[in-house]
Amino acid sequence: MSKVTFLVVCFLCSININYAQKGKRTLELIKLYNADGYYVIETVKSLPTTYQIGDVNIKTSTSSTYEEYIEGTTEKEWIASTNTIVHEMNHAFSSQMVYKAVQDAQLPYTMNDKYIVIYTQNQSYLLIQFQEVFPSRELAALIPTSLRTFRFDTYINSSSKILGTQQFGIYGLLNEWNAYYQGTKASLQLYDYYAKQNNNQAWLDYMQNVEGTLYAYQEFKFYILQYLLYAQKKHPIQYKQIIENTNFKQAFVFVDTYFKKLIDEYFVIRQKIAENLSKQNIKMEISEGYTFIEMKGIGNFSEEHALLNDELNKPIYTPLIQVLYTN
């Protein structure tokens, strides 16, 4: 073997070792701090790629791998990827768990049937069957410019036909809402990891990882309610199918309840961080739009929180919320 070839082989071995190392370490941390995320990852890894449901033979594509969502070369960067990893693996769970869930429930199945699976907690999930939907882009013109926050263009004002929020309409919006909840929860549950470091930058990293997706709670709740208001007027048959879908409503209530609790929990944690830093004579300041520790700061999206909270508190949404919370 020539010297050049030998060096190339060794370089590739190094890449593979580092890839395996960061995957192993990141999964260890997820297992330690976020049991639900770990369960989702392990479940997706273990799912078969072929199924027999009645007379239907199904072959799925290769399962998604959590490693592809790990960014960077240091543990600090790997741990910051946790939110994205858990978010994306919940999407993989939602689509790839469908056939096993249908099979386990011994339900009839045809290739025209439409399902998603919404992971909840404690190794439980909801299997949701649905019918025809309209793409979420139909809402774009109805949403005023002032309410077109960060994720509007990606999930609502998109021409993509394969994007979940377009292809699966309100069920795609629900799927995204839950994925943002699960990912944000994974970041919040890393509190003890960052507490062990106990330095200003670690706390800023922790808060940034949580707050980057925290107000997705209000965004997707707003989109879902807007979808229902529009469906009432323009797609009454589909509206009736949605509000009569018991598992959809159960999933909505789950995400609405637990994502809101998570936000409340985070604000308590954030205040706790400020109080602990104050005891060390370190100033942490929470202002409109930013959180600072000494001279370094991060965005906290407080304006978006307030804007969407004001919108969601309008009476127009109250009857819809009541319908969704009624079995």
Residue 84 lies in a domain: yes
Asked if residue 136 is part of any domain, the answer here is: no
150/289 same-domain check? yes
Number of structural domains (the chain) is 2
**CA–CA distance, 170 with 167 (Å, rounded to integer):** 9
Task: Return the pLDDT at 21.
Answer: 86
Q: Each residue of 231-259: pLDDT tens digit? A: 999 999 999 999 999 999 999 999 999 99
Asked if 90 and 155 sit in the same domain, the reply is no
Task: Please check whether residue 160 lies inside any domain of the structure.
Answer: yes
- Domain membership of residue 318 (yes or no) is yes
Spatial contact of 41 and 50, defined as CB atoms under 8 Å apart: no
**246 in helix, strand or coil?**
helix
pLDDT, position 13: 42
Model confidence pLDDT, tens digit, residues 185-209: 999 999 999 999 989 999 999 999 9
137 in a structural domain: no
Q: Does 291 lie in the same domain as 159?
A: yes
Whether residue 169 is contained in a domain is answered as yes
- pLDDT of residue 5 exceeding 60, the answer is no
Answer yes or no: is 293 within a domain: yes
Q: Is 103 exposed, middle or buried (0-12, 13-18, 19+ CB in 10 A)?
A: middle
Residues 31 and 118 in one domain: yes
Helix (H), strand (E) at residue 67: none
Q: Are residues 186 and 106 in the same domain?
A: no
Kindly state whether residues 72 and 150 are assigned to the same domain: no
Under 8 Å between Cβ of 125 and 97: yes
Shared domain for 106 and 156, answered yes or no, is no
Q: Is the Cα torsion angle 298, 34, 82, 249 positive or negative in sign?
A: negative
One domain for residues 267 and 154: yes
Residues 160 and 261 placed together within one structural domain of the fold: yes
Mapped onto helix, strand or coil, the DSSP state of residue 251 is helix
Distance CA 82, CA 127 (A): 25
How far apart CA 208 and CA 203 sit, in angstroms, is 8
Q: Can you give 91-118 as a three-state secondary structure string? A: HHHHHHCHHHHHHHCCCCCCCCCEEEEE
pLDDT of residue 279: 96
- Whether pLDDT at 67 is above 60: yes
Domain end (from 130, 152, 167):
130
Band the pLDDT of 63: cuts 50, 70, 90: low
If asked whether residues 159 and 279 sit together in one domain, one would say yes
User: In angstroms, what CA-CA distances link 129 with 126, 134, 288?
Assistant: 10, 16, 42
Last residue of a domain, one of 130, 160, 194: 130
Q: Within this chain, do residues 32 and 162 fall inside the same structural domain, yes or no?
A: no
Is residue 135 domain-resident?
no
The helix (H) or strand (E) run that includes residue 212 is helix 200-214
> Mean pLDDT of all residues in the chain?
93
CB–CB of 172/115 below 8 Å? no
- What is the secondary structure of 270-322 as a DSSP string? HHHHHHHHHHTT--EEEETTEEEETTEEEE--HHHHHHHHHHHTSGGGHHHHH
- Domain of 298 in residue numbering reads as 142-327
Closest CA relative to residue 60, chosen from 90, 91, 100: 100
Residue 178, pLDDT above cutoff 60: yes
Farthest CA pair distance, the chain: 76
Residue 267 is inside which H or E element, if any?
helix 246-279
Q: Which residues partner with 130 through β-bridges?
A: 114
User: Within 10 A of 143 (CB to CB), how many other CB atoms are there?
Assistant: 17
pLDDT at 198: 82
Q: Do 275 and 183 share a structural domain?
A: yes
Q: Which two tokens stand for residue 248?
A: 């959809």
Q: Which of 130, 154, 173 is the last residue of a domain?
A: 130
